[in-house]
Amino acid sequence: MRRRTFLQIMAAASLAGPGCSGGAPSSVGGTPPPSVDGGEYDLVVIGGGIAGLTAAWRNRGGDVLLLEKETTAGGRTIAGSWNGYRYPKGTEYLGLPEGKTAELLNQLGLWPTQVAAPTIAAVNGSSLYYGFAGAKRMFEEAGALASYQKIEAAFHRLLTRELQEEDLDIPAFDANLSPYDDMTVAQWLDRQGAHPLVKQFIDVENRGLFGASNSDLSMLYDIPEMGWNLVDFEGSPAEGESGSYSFPGGMVEVIEALMTAVNAQ
């Protein structure tokens, strides 16, 4: 029997791609999927977000069943459209792809381009600051630059030293990290004696990214995000660069390419 990958959309909709609708539940191969009950698979993946689709694709060659509870695949990497414009409703950009991410994109025949700078703007009082130079000036004027730099360096150190997130090759979970899951971001920032503007800046980022405040989020959860998001004003990204990368049609292009690749199994 030919090995193949089946995608079972639970809520009866589309396989064509994120943002589309209509059609009957089906398999990625275009024929009706086998009954989920009683079927035998080498691998069952639950969730058709970018992680689940990648897992299904990487395990191609086996009998793989991918289950998605929503009407479309994509999870939080989905697009909306308005007046002919497509915009991200979730994932917006990446850092410069490296390691396994670069490998995946190369295999899918995709490569992102750098989003034009500036990608940051902040309001403090009645002043608008934009670009990395503007953000740096905002902290300077508030007497908060040293505090920002201390917090940024600490997040970055935690990310690269403790989580070793590079290449997503995260080692066995280390007991050293457990304290960070037992405190909120707000508690950690208090312990560091962070300046109120630094706390507020990180709170706005967290509310925008996660819909959760510094007091709601575990510090462990925030390390990968802030370790990447908080910019070293003296280092990267270089002047005039945003350091953020995406595709002409947005990040949802990765989902569409994965769907096509899985469909081709």
Ligand X SMILES: Cc1cc2nc3c(=O)[nH]c(=O)nc-3n(C[C@H](O)[C@H](O)[C@H](O)COP(=O)(O)OP(=O)(O)OC[C@H]3O[C@@H](n4cnc5c(N)ncnc54)[C@H](O)[C@@H]3O)c2cc1C
> What is the rounded distance in angstroms from the CA atom of residue 152 to the CA atom of residue 93?
20
> Angle at which helices 219-229 and 145-157 pack, to 10 degrees?
110
Contact status, residue 92 vs residue 165, Cβ threshold 8 Å: no
Stretch 203-232: interaction string toward ligand X, x if CB under 6 A: ------x-----------------------
> What is the rounded distance in angstroms from the CA atom of residue 53 to the CA atom of residue 49?
6
Does 93 contact ligand X by CB under 6 A? yes
Does 75 contact ligand X by CB under 6 A? yes
Q: CB neighbours of 100 closer than 8 A, spacing ≥ 6?
A: 167, 168, 169
Name which of 41, 29, 16, 20 is nearest 263 in CA terms.
Answer: 29
Does 69 contact ligand X by CB under 6 A? yes
Q: Please, which residue, 7 or 145, has the CB nearer to ligand X?
A: 7
DSSP helix/strand/coil, 205? helix
Among 7, 50, 79, 262, binds ligand X (CB under 6 A): 50
Shortest approach of ligand X to residue 147 CB, angstroms? 26
Q: How many residues bind ligand X (CB under 6 A)?
A: 20
Does 17 contact ligand X by CB under 6 A? no
Q: Please, which residue, 147 or 244, has the CB nearer to ligand X?
A: 244
- Stretch of 23-31, 56-64, 85-93, 117-125 lying at the interface with ligand X (CB under 6 A): 85-93
Q: CB neighbours of 25 closer than 8 A, spacing ≥ 6?
A: 8, 9, 10, 12, 13, 32, 33
Among 17, 18, 33, 52, binds ligand X (CB under 6 A): 52
Shortest approach of ligand X to residue 90 CB, angstroms? 4
Q: Which tokens sit at 29?
A: 């191969």
Among 25, 90, 97, 118, binds ligand X (CB under 6 A): 90
Shortest approach of ligand X to residue 68 CB, angstroms? 5
Characterize 159-186 residue by residue with b for buried, 16 or more Cβ atoms within 10 angstroms of its Cβ, and e for exposed.
beebbebeeeeeeeeeeeeeebeeebbb
- Stretch of 25-33, 48-56, 135-143, 233-241 lying at the interface with ligand X (CB under 6 A): 48-56
Does 151 contact ligand X by CB under 6 A? no
Does 77 contact ligand X by CB under 6 A? yes
Shortest approach of ligand X to residue 189 CB, angstroms? 22
Does 112 contact ligand X by CB under 6 A? no
Q: Which tokens sit at 55?
A: 């897992």
Give contact residues for ligand X (rule: CB under 6 A): 46-52, 67-70, 75-77, 90-94, 209
